Structure 1
Amino acid sequence: MKIVGLDTTHLLKKLDLSIGIGEASRVSGATLTQIRYWEKKGLLTSFHHSDGRNKRYSIQNIIAMTAIKQMLDDGYTLAKAAETVRARQHTADRLRLIMHEQLKSAEIDEDGISCFNFGAIENDPDYDLIVTASDTKTHLTKVKRQD
């Protein structure tokens, strides 16, 4: 049973997965003042819809807010929290790039195991890289290509 096509990015871009500053504050635990300050410092970005409504924050910004707030609560400085969040965002961006450029298909088998085909292995093009994942384990395998 196939569950994911080759590119669902266009579907996600159509979704308005953003929230206003009040809801961002509630979700992240950060105060409105903190959110505005972090944005002024360049740690967050907001946008306005074309109809001129209030500032909106993307899911990525909500995750950053939550992480910064948690790290500050744990005793980190704002500078260290920002550095850590940027590093995590960079890693997440690279993972999204890998998924976008390399993932050829995703399926779930009858046992509920997810199977991700990342296509031909660069230094062994007769084989595909297959990743299977259950709720608790992942496996990487090299499988002969079926053209």
Structure 2
Amino acid sequence: MFEDLFDPNLVSKLLVTIGDVAEVTGIPQRKLRYWEEKGIIQSSCQKDGTTRKFDYLNIKKILLIKELLDEGFTLEASVKKVEERIENLQNAFSKLQERQEN
């Protein structure tokens, strides 16, 4: 059932413009640019250097930060919590991968 909801191939190719991210998340482009300037999120730019596009991981990070902000956390605290969650997930998946290889 989960396989029907999650397509790894789509996720790996998903790049969304800043305008689309702003529309879907409800976070203004100006705020997304600020977060990018602060190093909280990262975009990949087109060759012309003008179009920002965000991948799945950064969109997920934006949504998680927004949830924490909506719950009353500060931006700094939200970013710290999200980065800790991402690190914990990466560590867990690394351990699982090591077990499968052994």
Superposition TM-score tier, normalisation by shorter sequence: 0.7 to 0.9
Query: What is the aligned partner in structure 2 of residue 90 from structure 1?
Result: 87
Q: TM-score, normalised by structure 1?
A: 0.55
- TM-aligned CA deviation for residue 50 of structure 1: 4.8
Query: What is the aligned partner in structure 2 of residue 108 from structure 1?
Result: none
Q: Secondary structure at 1:103's aligned position in 2?
A: helix
Which runs of no fewer than 5 residues in structure 2 stay unpaired? none
Task: Give the structure with the higher percent strand.
Answer: 1
Call closer, same or farther: CA 1:74–1:19 in 2, change over 3 Å.
same
Query: What is the aligned partner in structure 2 of residue 103 from structure 1?
Result: 100
Q: Secondary structure at 1:75's aligned position in 2?
A: coil
Deviations 1:61-83, CA, capped at 9 Å, x for gaps: 00110111121122111110011
Q: Who wins on radius of gyration, i.e. which is larger? A: 1
Q: Contact 1:43–1:82 at 8 Å: present in 2 too?
A: yes
Alignment of 1:1-147 (within 5 A): 12=9, 15-50=12-47, 54-103=51-100
Q: Which has the higher contact order (CA 8 A, sep 6+)?
A: 2
Q: TM-score, normalised by structure 2?
A: 0.76
Percent identity over the alignment?
27
For residue 71 of structure 2, what is the amino acid of its counterpart?
D
Q: Contact 1:30–1:66 at 8 Å: present in 2 too?
A: no
- TM-aligned CA deviation for residue 51 of structure 1: 7.1
Task: Give the structure with the higher percent helix.
Answer: 2
